[in-house]
Structure 1
Amino acid sequence: SVLVGVLIGNTIEAAADLGAMSAAIVLFVPLPAPLVVIAVAVVIFALQVFGSYKLIRNVFRWLALALLAYVVSAVLAKPDAASVLRGTLLPKIEFSREYLSILVAIIGTTLSAYLYTWQSNQEVEEEIAKGRTSLEERKGATESELRRSRRDILIGMTFSNLIMYFIILSTGSTLYKAGQTQIETAAQAAEALRPLAGDAASILFAVGVIGVGFLAVPIMTAGAAFDFAQAMGWKNSLHAKPRQAPKFYIVIGIITLVAVGLNFFGFNPMKALVWSGVVQGFSTPPLLLLILIMTNNRKIMGDKVNSISTNILGGVTTLAIFAASAGLVASWFL
């Protein structure tokens, strides 16, 4: 069920990102949006299939800088500092269907299942890039490697959550304040920002959407392909050439094709992103529970089992996410 949730969630999210990117690109280049969706998907798929892992890694690293556009956009929106501080430190909590949907969706995009598998898969890819091509060579991890991995994850999660905060800040202090709550595309959000926060904020928001899309779509499609291929016992690696791992790349192609196709059914990308997050959010608690069980098993982890503090933090997090998911389900019937 977790695998199905990942496949559905990743595909919908890839579709929504493709739609959002195309709408944002059309703001700068007057082309038919469907054509842009296809063109962007082809470019991304070609990069995955024909690009080297090092090229893909470097492209991702540079694209991450596009996320800073959201920070600048939020500053240019000139939010009220007192309101921002109050809302940040004393958030308003509601037990409504809409509030819980967004809460679970945020959890789903922050702690979604694909992140864990993507992180572990990329650790393997990095090992291969260092010349450790066999499983025997990659067994185990030194303390310095674990510290590096922990540092990378902490920095990455901190950065991603800060960016999310500034996205909420830039749109909440402008669009929501002006009563514009029926935004169907990221491009509409960017356009709506123009009269409220100026041309620069609007352009930067659109640039951020494009950069995020180019960063997210290949991760969504390849991440789902990694999970499916591993479940089926197929060879999977971005280091592998298509002839070495044909089924892996075929799955990437199928997911990409479905994601493109969804954009021709007139679905709302914004709502699709929310609901894909909800799907991911529902799959998060059971996966976290499985991870906790595995990381406390000495047969699997050896002497690297969880500490008491990690178990407490992981357990509380799992219960909190389960409670949010259960609350959302309950709200559907109340």
Structure 2
Amino acid sequence: MGKAFIKVKKFFKVFGPGVVTGAADDDPSGIATYTQTGAKFGYGQLWTVIVMLPLMTAIQEACARIGAVNGLGLAAVIKANYSKKVLYAAVLLVVVANTINIGADIGAIAAAAQLLIHINFVILTLGFTALILILEIFTTYRVYSRILKWLALALLAYPITVFMVHQPWLTIISATFVPHVELNFEFFFIITGILGTTISPYMFFWQTSQEVEEEKALHLISRYGKPNIGPKFIKNLRIDNFVGMFFSEIATWSIIVVAATVLHQNGITNVDSAADAAKALEPLVQTFPNAGFLSKLIFAVGIIGLGLLGIPILSGSAAYALSEAFSMKQGLNLKLKKAHGFYGVITIATLIGLMINFIGIDPIKALVFTAVFNGVAAVPLIFLIARIARNKKIMGEYRSGWLSNTAVWITFLVMLASAVAMFYTLARG
């Protein structure tokens, strides 16, 4: 019994940046996009989950390995090996994408909170923004990472709901493994959004930098800046990464199935508000007298919890990218007085994101548009990551093997094809 407990404890100790990144992947933007595809196309895009799992696992593993091997974040690695034009283009992409995403997530948190409490939208956005900044700036990395891991439990509402509703399992299994494609703009718009909210630019920069933070916490970086790691560290990194991505995709699959069964089959094909999205969880509490309110409560807690998880990661990854590009001290392990620039970027990105909510964009629709923007922005970044991960000069003995290299390039081609198909069908009307 004692040996079994020790083995289990060792297994869970492996969990770190990969699990947190995987949980953050299902942020409010992800929930809105997956709910929209289930409502609009039923089970028609369920197959994307099977496609995305190996793709997101491959690209995130490559990013994690880049950080672990070099002891540097992604922007710092690009800076050391490529021209300033390439560096600034990569940093600009992630900062713009993240800032837009932050704005959409803040709006979604406020809209979800309004399902429970009748407080002005502006006051709610200001209050949540202040809370997020205080948590990120004034708590230590170790404390904050624990908070992030627990917030991931909010996703459990969707897998539970899947098994509480009568499901056409044969149809669902078929839709999961047999691709269905419609040659129109709306279909490719949502597909690009699904890919973009799953394989997002902020995840690339965040996980790379968090592997470095992990090495610092474990005192694995030498005085010369090079990490002292071996095959066991890389193996644990891969386990952590796969577990995070696997459970992220289970959540994605569950959200699409629930939306397809509860919304699409009942004639709700467009998710125009937080209240519409919350209806997907009504079967979870249908035996209770006030099922409508309880479903809103669960949805709101999930959106707020995952927003509090996702927004700091969005602003943090933008801060890592800019700080590395301009040689500023950076890291969530540093206190405010030692990393003014790093925390300054976090604050500015979050505040600009906040301001996006005051230009009249519907919060739920903004989440889907954000996902699509991420799907387009990710394409050139994946191209760059593929080249870095395979470069022997940069990665040494831990450069990508043929399997990892092939998977990352397939990810690039799939993301590119989706974006091109979306713009092509748009141009063709």
TM-score after normalising by structure 1: 0.93
SS at 1:260 equivalent: helix
Which amino acid counterpart does residue 269 of structure 2 have in structure 1?
T
Equivalence for 1:123 = 211
SS at 1:177 equivalent: helix
Q: Residues 298 and 178 (structure 1 numbering): CA distance in 2 closer, same or farther, change over 3 Å? A: same
- Cα distance in 2 for partners of 1:223, 1:305 equals 23
- Cα distance in 1 for partners of 2:363, 2:337 equals 34
Measured against aligned partners, the alpha-carbon deviations of 1:20-68 in whole angstroms (never above 9, x if no partner) come to 1122222223322221111111111001110011111000010011111
Q: Residues 75 and 31 (structure 1 numbering): CA distance in 2 closer, same or farther, change over 3 Å? A: farther
> Is the contact between residue 73 and residue 204 of structure 1 (CA under 8 Å) also seen in structure 2?
no
Q: Post-superposition, which runs of at least 4 consecutive aligned residues in structure 1 deviate over 4 A?
A: 132-135
> Is the contact between residue 105 and residue 277 of structure 1 (CA under 8 Å) also seen in structure 2?
yes
Q: Does 1:188 align with 2:282?
A: no
Which amino acid counterpart does residue 257 of structure 1 have in structure 2?
L
C-alpha displacement of 1:146: 0.4
Equivalence for 1:49 = 137
> Is the contact between residue 213 and residue 333 of structure 2 (CA under 8 Å) also seen in structure 1?
yes
Q: Residues 260 and 44 (structure 1 numbering): CA distance in 2 closer, same or farther, change over 3 Å? A: same
Q: Does 1:314 align with 2:402?
A: no
> Is the contact between residue 72 and residue 201 of structure 1 (CA under 8 Å) also seen in structure 2?
no
TM-score after normalising by structure 2: 0.73
Q: 2:375 aligns with which of 281, 284, 296?
A: 281
C-alpha displacement of 1:132: 4.7
Equivalence for 2:233 = 145
Q: Residues 194 and 295 (structure 1 numbering): CA distance in 2 closer, same or farther, change over 3 Å? A: closer
Q: Does 1:237 align with 2:343?
A: no
Which amino acid counterpart does residue 228 of structure 1 have in structure 2?
L
Residue pairs, 1:1-334, within 5 angstroms: 1-132=89-220, 136=224, 138-191=226-279, 194=282, 198=286, 199=291, 200-334=294-428
C-alpha displacement of 1:135: 5.8
Which amino acid counterpart does residue 224 of structure 2 have in structure 1?
E
Q: Residues 231 and 247 (structure 1 numbering): CA distance in 2 closer, same or farther, change over 3 Å? A: same
- Cα distance in 1 for partners of 2:264, 2:393 equals 52
C-alpha displacement of 1:100: 0.8
Q: Residues 8 and 322 (structure 1 numbering): CA distance in 2 closer, same or farther, change over 3 Å? A: same
> Is the contact between residue 101 and residue 328 of structure 1 (CA under 8 Å) also seen in structure 2?
yes
Q: Residues 64 and 33 (structure 1 numbering): CA distance in 2 closer, same or farther, change over 3 Å? A: same
Q: Residues 78 and 23 (structure 1 numbering): CA distance in 2 closer, same or farther, change over 3 Å? A: farther
- Cα distance in 2 for partners of 1:135, 1:30 equals 54
- Cα distance in 2 for partners of 1:135, 1:325 equals 44
> Is the contact between residue 73 and residue 202 of structure 1 (CA under 8 Å) also seen in structure 2?
no
Measured against aligned partners, the alpha-carbon deviations of 1:233-254 in whole angstroms (never above 9, x if no partner) come to 2111111111111111111111
> Is the contact between residue 132 and residue 308 of structure 2 (CA under 8 Å) also seen in structure 1?
yes
C-alpha displacement of 1:195: 8.2
> Is the contact between residue 222 and residue 228 of structure 2 (CA under 8 Å) also seen in structure 1?
no
SS at 2:328 equivalent: coil
Which amino acid counterpart does residue 251 of structure 2 have in structure 1?
I
- Cα distance in 2 for partners of 1:203, 1:267 equals 24
Query: Structure 1 stretches of 5 or more lacking a match?
Result: none
Q: Residues 83 and 135 (structure 1 numbering): CA distance in 2 closer, same or farther, change over 3 Å? A: farther
- Cα distance in 1 for partners of 2:105, 2:162 equals 21
Q: % of aligned pairs identical?
A: 33
Which amino acid counterpart does residue 119 of structure 2 have in structure 1?
L
- Cα RMSD of the aligned pairs, angstroms, is 2.1
C-alpha displacement of 1:183: 2.1
Q: Residues 79 and 22 (structure 1 numbering): CA distance in 2 closer, same or farther, change over 3 Å? A: farther
Q: Residues 241 and 270 (structure 1 numbering): CA distance in 2 closer, same or farther, change over 3 Å? A: same
> Is the contact between residue 53 and residue 239 of structure 1 (CA under 8 Å) also seen in structure 2?
yes
Q: Residues 288 and 34 (structure 1 numbering): CA distance in 2 closer, same or farther, change over 3 Å? A: same
